[in-house]
Amino acid sequence: MVRQYAKVVGVVVILIGVVGLLFGNEDLFGQLNIDIVEDFIHLVTGGLMAFVGFRSADESAVRSVVGGLGVVYLAVGVIGFFVPELFGLLPHGYDLLDNVIHLALGVLGIAVAWLLPQRAERGIAR
């Protein structure tokens, strides 16, 4: 389940970064902030998640990346409510929908990485 989450969410976050780069510094659908800094961060974090999901043989590495990025997304979601421009990094700032999406990705990442039981590998339970 953790590996599948990393694959799906990683690819989706990469696509969000690509769409953001194509639209430039505008609001997507009048709601979502798509500043260039955030687009590159989406490409990097999505790429990292997709990489471990598709290529890593070690489930603990997948869990670490998914959980670590979950903590980062959760922190960004919380900070976005109080400092929408993230200390000058985002000229357009976050709105409510941006923060809710980051909070959801954070909570899901943490839950999938650290609350789901580990799968037995090759018949040997850990």
pLDDT 10s digits, 1-18: 899 999 999 999 999 888
- Residue 126 makes CB contacts below 8 A (sequence gap 6+) with 118, 120
Cα–Cα dist 111/31, whole Å? 27
Per-domain residue ranges for the chain?
A: 2-114
Q: What number is the average pLDDT over the span 86-99? A: 74
Helices of type H across the chain: 2-23, 36-55, 59-82, 96-114
Spacing of C-alpha 12 from chain mean position: 9
Tell me the pTM.
0.81
Q: Nearest 10 degrees: CA dihedral of 59, 52, 94, 34?
A: -160
Instruction: Please tell me the predicted confidence (pLDDT) of residue 124.
Output: 39
Q: Are the CB atoms for 48 and 70 separated by under 8 Å?
A: no
Instruction: Please tell me the predicted confidence (pLDDT) of residue 75.
Output: 94
The SS3 call for residue 77 is: helix
Comparing 29-33, 72-76, 110-114, 122-126, the range with the smallest average pLDDT is 122-126
Cα–Cα dist 82/77, whole Å? 9
Q: Are the CB atoms for 99 and 81 separated by under 8 Å?
A: yes
Instruction: Please tell me the predicted confidence (pLDDT) of residue 122.
Output: 42
Which range has highest mean pLDDT (32-36, 45-49, 75-79)?
A: 45-49
Residue 110, both tokens:
């943490």
